[in-house]
Structure 1
């Protein structure tokens, strides 16, 4: 039976995994290779790996670590962080990454890497990501470099530009909801879904199965991504990977 994709989102800092709240207060949650091995054993649909420091620090992806992580993946893996040129994309694909996730480079004005990557590997291998936070008058502001740089424009126009450049999927994340486990921003998701004709993956705020269902049934998302929901357990947020495909059947 068909069900929408549910994608664990892992945040890479150095050689460790962390979890943030509103893109701040990073808490160490484990070793990436071990975590990916567990998600593989639990038969996750797909995996997203984001290096949250690479773009902000102006450095390349850690190719050796990514290759090691991808080697443990029995599911498709998408990687984002520090991607600025087609040479990096080629190396990531050779390392075992199925999708490249491009955010800051495009947000700061260069769509070239998206266009070149789509031409070389197909649009299905290119995800255009956008991070937003609430602005004045109930609007949204785009942010780049892990939320440290505000970017002019509105999210709807930006995702249309990403798709026009060649992105075959959009990943949208609300910084204000990140790590809160209080639910997705359904208004944002609906607006992004209505702006493009490619799949939209909702990220930021999932804490319960109902939140996943709401993003899909009410927001119109094609897939959902979550971090805290799959790595924390209980009120004390004990670190415990708890992805269970059987619980996701009816979302």
Structure 2
């Protein structure tokens, strides 16, 4: 059985970590480097580090912190937010990142996916898909930090990015972001039916039981958490110990 993963998400804006509610209502949650070191000591399986600044949609914020963060962690690091070319992607991977995370550019520049996968392997490309449920209950895909709708179905987009070379899909519910009320199980299962690659679920973590439910009801490969680790006394080490007691396999550190 493949090992499950618990992945903290760090959102970078104006040199601070923030946490959002439904991609809005930002709250300061700490220093990027110090927080990363804490997650490392708490045996997180990976770390996702995203630039969400709406004023700086380029890689400058990531470049500033990439080396400093990579020096204090000893786990796979995924970075994204503002990557706009193969040169941006290559810089990240050659300077400390193990994977890049693409969202907006995956819709109209699939060559970034393909060229990165060809150079560094498909495992180096994660595609993040931000979703809100429409009035008819169907998922609507968003890019540009949740500000622009994309005219493609969830299944079509998954097929497109996997064909281009994506090695992993991260599905993020905007409706559940920061609400700490649990994951959208139906949405995760829908993605898993469409995706022939590993899936990371994000948006909704508020208690360890939410992680247990998502793992057991969807067989998702990994769960990415923000609010759970920022606004409760739970950390990755404690979460993995609890979930291991329910028969879920995790890497032994």
How does the TM-score come out when normalised to structure 1? 0.92
In 2, Cα distance between equivalents of 1:104 and 1:72 = 29
How far the C-alpha of 1:104 sits from its partner, in A, is 0.7
1:173-210, CA deviations, whole angstroms, 9 ceiling, x for partnerless residues? 01000000101111110111000110000000011122
Secondary structure (helix, strand or coil) at the match of 2:194 reads coil
Residue 61 of structure 1 deviates from its aligned partner by 4.0
Cα distance in 2 for partners of 1:102, 1:51 equals: 11
Per-residue deviation, residues 27-75 of structure 1 (Å, max 9, x unmatched): 0000010000111111111111111126x74322421212211111111
- 1:237 alignment counterpart: none
Do residues 18 (structure 1) and 34 (structure 2) align? Answer: no
Partner of 2:99: 99
Q: Which residue of 1 aligns with 2:243?
A: 248
For 2:217, the equivalent position in structure 1 comes to 218
> SS of the residue aligned with 2:191?
helix
For residues 1-251 of structure 1, what are the structure 2 equivalents within 5 Å? 3-53=3-53, 57-62=56-61, 63-107=63-107, 109-233=108-232, 242-243=235-236, 244=238, 245-249=240-244, 250=246, 251=248
TM-score, L = length of structure 2: 0.91
State the shift of 1:247 in Å: 2.6
Partners of 2:3 and 2:210 lie apart in 1 by 15
Tell me the C-alpha RMSD between the 2 structures: 1.6
SS at match of 1:26: strand
SS of the equivalent of 2:189 reads helix
Q: Distance in 2 between matches of 1:102 and 1:20?
A: 19
CA deviation profile, 1:137-184 (whole Å, cap 9, x unmatched): 111110001101111111121111111110000000010000001011
Displacement after TM superposition at 1:136 (Å): 2.2
In 1, are the aligned partners of 2:212 and 2:243 still within 8 Å (CA)?
no
Provide the rounded CA distance (Å) in 1 between the counterparts of 2:212 and 2:224. Answer: 12
Distance in 2, Cα, partners of 1:67 & 1:152: 37
In structure 2, the CA distance between the partners of 1:15 and 1:153, relative to structure 1 (3 Å rule), is: same
Q: What is the CA–CA distance in structure 2 between the aligned matches of 1:178 and 1:90, rounded to whole Å?
A: 30
Unaligned runs of 5+ in 1: 234-239
User: Alignment partner of 2:74: what SS?
Assistant: coil
Question: Aligned residues, how many?
Answer: 243
User: C-alpha displacement at 1:3, in angstroms?
Assistant: 4.1
Residues in 2 aligned to 1:58 and 1:98: alpha-carbon distance in whole angstroms: 21
Q: What CA distance in whole angstroms lies between the structure 2 residues aligned with 1:51 and 1:248?
A: 30
